Amino acid sequence: MGLFFISKMQLDNIIVKSHEPVRLDRYIRRFYPNITQGVIEKSLRNEQIKLNGKKVKSSARVIDDDVITIVAGIFGKDEDVIEKKIFSQNAISLAGKLLSDYLLFSNEDFIAINKPAGLAVQGGSKISLSIDESLAYINSTQNASYKLVHRLDKDTSGVLLIANGFDSAAKLGKAFHDHLMAKCYIALLSGVPKELNGTIENNIGKDRSGIFEIVRELESGGKLAKTNYKILKYNKGVSLVEFQPETGRMHQLRFHAKFLGCPIIGDVKYGGKPHSNMLLHAQKLTISKDVFGKEIIIKSKLPDAFDEFDLKNN
CATH label of the domain that carries residue 295: 3.30.2350.10
244 in a domain, yes or no?
yes
Cβ-contact 276, 305 below 8 angstroms: yes
Greater confidence (48 vs 34) lies with 48
Final residue of a structural domain among 71, 97, 123: 71
Final residue of a structural domain among 175, 207, 222: 175
What average pLDDT score do residues 55-69 get? Answer: 92
Tell whether 37 and 149 lie within a shared domain. Answer: no
Q: Is 267 exposed, middle or buried (0-12, 13-18, 19+ CB in 10 A)?
A: buried
What's the CA dihedral at 92, 96, 102, 106 to 10 degrees?
120
Final residue of a structural domain among 175, 208, 238: 175
Nearest-angstrom CA–CA distance, 241 and 13: 53
Tell whether 205 and 186 lie within a shared domain. Answer: yes
Tell whether 204 and 302 lie within a shared domain. Answer: yes
Tell whether 241 and 275 lie within a shared domain. Answer: yes
Instruction: Quote the strand ranges of the chain, DSSP E.
Output: 11-15, 22-23, 49-51, 61-62, 67-71, 103-106, 110-115, 146-148, 157-164, 181-190, 197-207, 214-217, 223-235, 238-245, 280-287, 296-299, 312-313
Choice among 20-34, 164-178, 221-235, 290-304 with the minimum mean pLDDT? 20-34
The answer to whether 267 is a known catalytic residue is: no
Tell whether 183 and 171 lie within a shared domain. Answer: no
77 in a domain, yes or no?
no
Nearest-angstrom CA–CA distance, 95 and 113: 12
Choice among 106-115, 202-211, 251-260 with the minimum mean pLDDT? 202-211
Tell whether 208 and 299 lie within a shared domain. Answer: yes
Tell whether 192 and 305 lie within a shared domain. Answer: yes
Per-residue confidence (pLDDT) for residue 12, from 0 to 100: 77
79 in a domain, yes or no?
no
Choice among 16-30, 41-55, 192-206, 288-302 with the minimum mean pLDDT? 16-30
Per-residue confidence (pLDDT) for residue 175, from 0 to 100: 93
Per-residue confidence (pLDDT) for residue 5, from 0 to 100: 37
20 in a domain, yes or no?
yes
Choice among 10-19, 116-125, 173-182, 238-247 with the minimum mean pLDDT? 10-19
Q: Is the pLDDT of residue 310 over 80?
A: no
Q: Is the pLDDT of residue 154 over 90?
A: yes
Tell whether 168 and 189 lie within a shared domain. Answer: no
**What burial letters (b/e) apply to 173-203, b meaning 16+ CB within 10 Å?**
bebbeeebbebbbbbbbbbbbeeeeeebebe
Q: What average pLDDT is seen over the chain?
A: 89
**Which is the catalytic residue, given 25, 153, 155, 267?**
153
pTM for this entry: 0.79
Q: Is the pLDDT of residue 77 over 70?
A: no
76 in a domain, yes or no?
no
* CATH number of residue 33's parent domain: 3.10.290.10
Tell whether 198 and 282 lie within a shared domain. Answer: yes
80 in a domain, yes or no?
no
83 in a domain, yes or no?
no
Q: Is the pLDDT of residue 2 over 70?
A: no
Q: Considering its fold, how many domains does the chain have in total?
A: 3
Tell whether 130 and 244 lie within a shared domain. Answer: no
State which of 120-129, 139-148, 176-185 shows the largest mean pLDDT: 176-185
pLDDT tens figures, 244-283: 999 999 999 999 999 999 999 999 999 999 999 999 999 9
**Which residue in 225, 284, 211 sits closest to 253, CA to CA?**
225
Tell whether 29 and 115 lie within a shared domain. Answer: no
Instruction: Provide the domain limits for residue 287.
Output: 179-313
Percent of the chain with pLDDT over 90: 65
Q: Is the pLDDT of residue 54 over 60?
A: yes
**Which residue in 236, 234, 272, 235 sits closest to 253, CA to CA?**
272
Greater confidence (13 vs 130) lies with 130
Tell whether 232 and 134 lie within a shared domain. Answer: no
Per-residue confidence (pLDDT) for residue 1, from 0 to 100: 33
Per-residue confidence (pLDDT) for residue 225, from 0 to 100: 95
84 in a domain, yes or no?
no
Per-residue confidence (pLDDT) for residue 264, from 0 to 100: 98
In the three-class reduction of DSSP (H, G, I as helix; E, B as strand; rest coil), residue 228 is classed as strand
Q: Is the pLDDT of residue 87 over 80?
A: yes
Nearest-angstrom CA–CA distance, 39 and 32: 11
